[in-house]
Structure 1
């Protein structure tokens, strides 16, 4: 055993590898990141990475899932915290949390919108997008095809706006404008759905 490796339990070692993956994937394009580098950062062997995650793509997807867990918890809390809030207030608060998430990891967030990830990660992101649309439809009490189309369009619009925001460096002074415009777009779409 190498001098810098410690004996850890499975979950502890797996967590260390994921932490190292976060460090590497947050600053290095997927194609340029190596499992050998992640192994060095984590103090694990490359073979152990493959044992736990199957492949570099599997590790990357696990890293995305771990990152999303924090966002999911924050969004769920936001959506459930104020049952008396209007639909517009709920969406605005949800968007504030989403913008915080984007700003905290713009490099990885943008990679997912530019097709710079392995197929496993792309499939995971598609599942997450579908889940987001479904969750927002539930929260907004929309059960029609028109409502689902409106929310799906909103999510696509929001991602396009956020991609421009990331490209500009996530300037704080643009947040209020992004919130106003994206919320207004959904509110306008919902008015059409409900008419």
Structure 2
């Protein structure tokens, strides 16, 4: 996936009635599969006919049809997540059956369409591809580097102060790695080397 990806700024919801069945779609940002499953557990309605869901976190994804015919609920919801260029997102669709069968095509449109609309209406945030980087600098270089690196959108982890200087670890957008290397090299006069964690 080379296109820019988005996650959600917060929880989102979308309600729709289709041929007397009520569909409530809920979406939330999640950082892990465990967080996605916890979200589903916290918002599922045990009195509803179906609680179908899907999530994607990077290359990890899962979906569940919860009793609907295979491939009519969870998979269309996962396709909606991908179609909306979303990642680190969990979507749950709760259905209260209204007595009219929708057929497999109708179900896929209802679940996939509800998920897509919920994500479309949600406030979204771009996902920045970051890498972890580390280097060692002197005590005198540290304040200048800290100030300049903040302008490169670096997020610092706790620095470790040694007898001869500071071990610095940070997360930085992948597209700024070359700027980081140049800055650290220039300020340390070529002495400090940036190590990028794979």
Fold equivalence (TM over 0.5): no
Q: Which has the higher strand share?
A: 2
Q: Which has the higher helix share?
A: 1
More contact order relative to length (CA 8 Å, sep ≥ 6): 2
TM-score by length of 1: 0.24
* The structure with more radius of gyration: 2
